Chains A and B, each alone.
Chain A
Amino acid sequence: MSTGSGSGPGKRSDRNASSSRTFHPLYLVLLVPFIALLWPPFYAMDQPEISGIPFFYWYQFLWIVLGAVLIGIIYGATRGAES
């Protein structure tokens, strides 16, 4: 292979200056929104409703907020290790 052959996700053997940024294990938490939203059988239903809003809608709205919070937490948790 040629130069600069990077580390793929999960391969962090190199203690090089930037290795901590290459792939932090906490990043795996970011898979959760994908699982929660890309499998519609989890949420394609109308019950339980919240004041007339079907589950299908409020569940996905909730994930907008949860997704942002997760990213915010991971940003905070990984920031210190990097500068």
Chain B
Amino acid sequence: MNWTELGVFIFFFLLVTVLGFVAVSWRRGDLTQLNEWGLAGRRFGTLVSWFLIGGDLYTAYTFIAVPALVFGVGALGFFAVPYTVIVYPLVFVLMPRLWAVCRRHHYITPADFIKGRYGSQGLALAVAVTGILATMPYIALQLVGIQVVLATMGITGSAAATDLPLILAFVILALYTYTSGLRAPAMIAIVKDTMIYITVIAAVIVIPIKLGGYGHIFAAAAAALPAKKGFLILPPGGFMPYASLALGSALALFMYPHAITGVLASYSGKVVRRNAALLPAYSLMLGLLALLGYMALAAGITVSAPSLVVPHLLAAMFPSWFVGFAFAAIAIGALVPAAIMSIAASNLFTRNIWHVYFRKATDPGEEAAVAKTVSLIVKVGALVFVLALGNTYAIYLQLLGGVWILQTFPAIVFGLYTRWFHHVALLLGWLVGMTWGTWMAAKNGFMSPVYPLHIAGATLPLYAALSAFALNIIVAIVLTVVFDAMRIGRAADETVRDDYGAEDPAASPVAAG
């Protein structure tokens, strides 16, 4: 164990813990209201939203998993780059509309919007449950980020010695999320992302100098990959998996409740649109991080598990004080998304399950109290899950989570533009997409997100989420025509066309009632 490394690590960890509790009085609001606890009063401007959404989407697990995948399979793992490029045109066009309608009607969750738009409790429940199911394993996976840096720092041995720091970190996280709500991860994200940028910039300058330049790194990777059945340049057989993973992941990303929470906490639609142009800075960082996989190949790093690639590479290349700093960045990088995810899941549970099915007469104060308690339960659940079952199941479920969350896209995104779709048709489309997507993932033994479809004699290896999504849409369209022909009734829409266009809060007065 290296004491300098550990000392620096603990220093930064304590620093953000203090920030997490101080955040309670940042842009002070009445934290007994769910709007304040769970969306920080929707007051974040361009810069804070940039840190919050960036820190929320580019998680510690991403930083560990993307380079690990590139290390293991080469070019295919690079799909994270096209994915995080094409997601932003979607954000630019779609998310200001969602922000505007949610702002005007005080919607806190995507399922609130579904309920208002389609008047369907069933469809809202489907969206809420899907969101919670997809988020839970994602929270659990953030623990993996903390685990790998702890293991690399030499905190190993008995179960108590390895689990205790992890439990401690999560208890601290749970407490400041409980007291400060969304303000805590927003404030911590500013520190954490500054640390991550410093780490990445140092890594992509210092490591290539030590390894003899990028040309040498790519040459060494090209030499090392064939032995692992990987490729430096994507082969034709990889085109369809690559493109469908990029497209499917991009369509799915902003359906995740934690992503929507980040958007809704913005002060205005302009803030959301500006961030669509500014957030690609994080994609650039992710692309550079992906190259750490090749640097590890060039440096001859060998690991027992792929998730250890980045920590081992950093430990081999940097002095111990900087390793402590970088590891703190990764561990704190796990806490920010974990906090936002647990807040998003609690909001969904409170607004769309508790309030609807258990206690209709909740006042806003009670709502916030329930959400706070649920955020604790969610995190304890994630911790128990990882400690009891290990990482493997969390990774399987996170893969499924991506397949599942994309099935809420038709109801949410099409709903931003049109009421043409029948709510029962959307619900059945969702059910078909969920079932078929899960079946394809299970057929693959949850090992690969790509499932080969055999259509008209051709084999199409596509991201399972995307093919399930296509079937989902077909079912929704066909059944809408059928249900309308059968004159099956629709419920009222509480939104009007003007609700979707407002850009700033002044132009978006609260709807009557």
Contacts and interface: CB of A to CB of B under 8 A. Distances in A.
Interface of A: 1-9, 14, 16-19, 21-22, 27, 30-31, 33-34, 37-41, 44-46, 49, 51-54, 56-57, 60-61, 63-65, 67-68, 70-72, 74-75, 79, 82-83
B420 A1 contact: yes
Interface in B484-513: 490, 492-493, 495-498, 500-504
Contacts of A21: 96, 500-501, 503
Interface string B200-243: 00000000000001111111000000000000111110110011
Contact of B417 (A9, A49, A65, A71): A9
Interface string B116-160: 010000000000000000000000000000000000000000000
Nearest to A17: B498
A64 B213 contact: no
B92 interface: yes
Given A6-B417, A18-B502, A40-B238, A74 B85 contact: no
Interface stretch (B280-288, B316-324, B390-398): B280-288
B417 A52 contact: no
B216 A52 contact: yes
B75 interface: yes
B113 to A, nearest CB: 13
B276 interface: yes
Contact of A8 (B117, B214, B278, B417): B417
B176 interface: no
A19 B247 CA distance: 28
B277 interface: yes
B276 A41 contact: no
B89 interface: yes
B411 to A, nearest CB: 14
Given A2-B493, A5-B418, A54-B233, A71 B81 contact: no
Majority SS at the chain B contact face:
helix
Given A21-B501, A60-B85, 19 more contacts: A2-B492, A5-B420, A6-B416, A9-B417, A14-B497, A16-B497, A31-B89, A40-B234, A41-B236, A44-B233, A44-B239, A45-B233, A46-B232, A53-B214, A54-B233, A57-B78, A57-B291, A60-B287, A67-B86
B274 interface: yes
A68 to B, nearest CB: 4
A56 B232 CA distance: 9
> How many interface residues does chain B have, given as a range?
35 or more
Contacts of B419: 1-6
B506 to A, nearest CB: 10
Nearest to A22: B501
Contacts, number: 159
Nearest first, the 8 closest Cβ-Cβ pairs linking A and B are: A52-B215, A18-B501, A30-B89, A68-B280, A37-B82, A72-B277, A71-B277, A44-B234
A69 B82 CA distance: 15
Contact of A54 (B93, B218, B490): B218
8 contacts: A4-B495, A5-B419, A40-B242, A53-B218, A56-B234, A57-B78, A61-B81, A70-B89
Contacts of B234: 40, 44, 56
Interface of B: 75, 78, 81-82, 84-86, 88-89, 92-93, 96, 117, 213-219, 232-236, 238-239, 242-243, 246-247, 270, 273-274, 276-278, 280-281, 283-284, 287, 291, 416-420, 490, 492-493, 495-498, 500-504
B92 A74 contact: yes
Contacts of A82: 503
Nearest to B503: A82
Nearest to B89: A30
Contacts of B281: 68
A7 B276 CA distance: 23
A60 B243 contact: no
Given A30-B93, A53-B218, A64-B81, A40 B239 contact: yes
A15 to B, nearest CB: 12
Nearest to B279: A68
B498 A61 contact: no
B426 to A, nearest CB: 14
A7 B218 CA distance: 49
Contacts of B493: 2-4
B246 A38 contact: yes
A2 B85 CA distance: 36
Nearest to B291: A57
A6 B498 contact: no
A41 to B, nearest CB: 7
A69 to B, nearest CB: 8
B278 A7 contact: no
Contact of B273 (A5, A17, A75): A75
Contacts of B88: 67-68, 71
Contacts of A57: 78, 218, 291
Given A16-B497, A22-B501, A54-B232, A39 B243 contact: yes
A81 to B, nearest CB: 11
Contact of A2 (B213, B287, B490): B490
